[in-house]
């Protein structure tokens, strides 16, 4: 997995655009160089080279509520009940292999978006299972519903599951681990006794978290949970966007005369942004273009500076990446 570096842009608003790489100025066509004595020039300028950079594009879902929990705890069933989403539902682990989004329509018409995040298991923050691919999708959520299976059908300990997943959140992102959570004890319709639900009640009391007991299958307790989530979201601020530090602003207002000349082992090396731009435009294999180059060197003062430094006919002059032989 590629390790992300500095964030250069965060595209989180509708219609937002960002300039990530600067393109080069376009070259001028032959008509630009036409004169009264040379009405059809046979050369033109090439366009300047643009920047090249390897970047990582990372997709993050934008949702108000994220569903957490081990595989097969009923997250997808819950999503299908409270929204119009149609996630795949089956009684085996990792049925959900892609994030699913759904919009909850409340009775007050103030809906919100829920994201079902698959693949969170022990080691997810280090790439185990599917979790490392999807943990980033809960970073922008404002509220987490932590689903625990209290039916006992899977033979799991819901308290251990709760701490295991929260440990993965902390390893992945300290900020993510501090998001507001509500514990959702699911599958109460299939409980094989009350021992597990009592453990979850003790857990909620110990951690100071709200607890809702529901059955996504029978819909028991679901409406009460949704109404409560809707009210809580009204009190939670929108997730702050990532702060872009040292944001680079691109402009075309660069000095045209940025160049230097140094003599090294009888070779004259001309460098600088102005030279890079000039040599990027010139077709070095065309005679008329070479004449244009000589004219530009003279107008920029490079010609006189080379003569001042003692350049002689036959000397080697390096212009950017081009090595030329000097002639008067």
Residue 66's DSSP bridge partners are 115, 144
Given the structure tokens 């949970």, which residue do they identify?
225
The ranges assigned to domains in the chain are 65-233, 253-328
Three-state secondary-structure class, residue 268: strand
Residue 32's DSSP bridge partners are none
Average pLDDT per 10 consecutive residues for the chain, totaling 328 residues? 60 71 68 63 65 72 81 86 68 54 78 76 46 62 91 87 87 80 93 91 95 94 92 80 55 63 87 81 74 84 88 86 79
- In angstroms, the CA 328 to CA 272 distance is 23
The model carries a pTM of 0.58
Question: Residue 250 has what pLDDT?
Answer: 52
- In angstroms, the CA 41 to CA 180 distance is 70
> Is the separation of the CB atoms in 325 and 315 below 8 Å?
yes
Q: CB neighbours (10 Å) of residue 259?
A: 22
Angle at 210 between CA 209 and CA 211, to 5 degrees: 115
Domain 65-233 fold is Rossmann fold (3.40.50)
Residue 220's DSSP bridge partners are 215
- In angstroms, the CA 167 to CA 264 distance is 60
Question: Residue 96 has what pLDDT?
Answer: 46
Question: Residue 228 has what pLDDT?
Answer: 93
- In angstroms, the CA 182 to CA 229 distance is 9
- In angstroms, the CA 178 to CA 176 distance is 5
Question: Residue 201 has what pLDDT?
Answer: 95
Question: Residue 163 has what pLDDT?
Answer: 92
> Is the separation of the CB atoms in 227 and 271 below 8 Å?
no
Angle at 114 between CA 109 and CA 119, to 5 degrees: 170
Question: Residue 129 has what pLDDT?
Answer: 45
- In angstroms, the CA 14 to CA 224 distance is 32
Q: Which CATH class is domain 253-328?
A: alpha beta
> Is the separation of the CB atoms in 280 and 237 below 8 Å?
no
> Is the separation of the CB atoms in 88 and 95 below 8 Å?
yes
């Amino acid at each position: 997995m590629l390790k992300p570096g500095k964030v250069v842009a965060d595209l989180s608003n509708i219609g937002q655009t960002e300039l990530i790489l600067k393109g080069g100025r376009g070259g001028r066509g032959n008509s630009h160089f036409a004169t009264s004595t040379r009405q059809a020039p046979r050369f033109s300028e090439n366009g300047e080279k643009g920047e090249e950079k390897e970047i990582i594009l990372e997709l993050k879902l934008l949702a108000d509520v994220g569903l957490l929990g081990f595989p097969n705890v009923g997250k997808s069933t819950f999503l299908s009940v409270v929204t119009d989403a149609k996630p795949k539902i089956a009684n085996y682990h990792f049925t959900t292999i892609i994030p699913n989004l759904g919009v909850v329509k409340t009775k007050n018409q103030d809906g919100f978006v829920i994201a079902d995040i698959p693949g969170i298991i022990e080691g997810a923050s280090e790439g185990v299972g599917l979790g490392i691919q999807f943990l980033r999708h809960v970073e922008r959520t404002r509220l987490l519903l932590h689903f625990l299976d209290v039916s006992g059908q899977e033979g799991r300990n819901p308290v251990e599951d709760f701490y295991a997943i929260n440990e993965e959140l902390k390893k992945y992102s300290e900020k993510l681990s501090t998001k507001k959570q509500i514990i959702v004890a699911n599958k109460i319709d299939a409980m094989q006794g009350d021992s597990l639900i009592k453990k979850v009640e003790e857990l909620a009391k110990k951690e100071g978290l709200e607890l809702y007991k529901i059955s996504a299958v029978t819909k028991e307790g679901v409406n009460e949970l949704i109404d409560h989530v809707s009210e809580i979201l009204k009190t939670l601020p929108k997730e702050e966007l990532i702060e872009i530090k040292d944001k680079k602003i691109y402009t075309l207002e660069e000095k045209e005369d940025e160049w230097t000349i140094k003599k090294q082992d009888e070779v004259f090396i001309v460098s600088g942004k102005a030279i890079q731009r000039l040599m990027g435009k010139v077709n070095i294999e065309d005679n008329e273009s070479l004449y244009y180059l000589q004219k530009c060197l003279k107008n920029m003062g490079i010609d006189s500076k080379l003569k001042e430094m003692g350049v002689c006919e036959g000397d080697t002059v390096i212009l950017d990446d081009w090595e030329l032989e000097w002639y008067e």
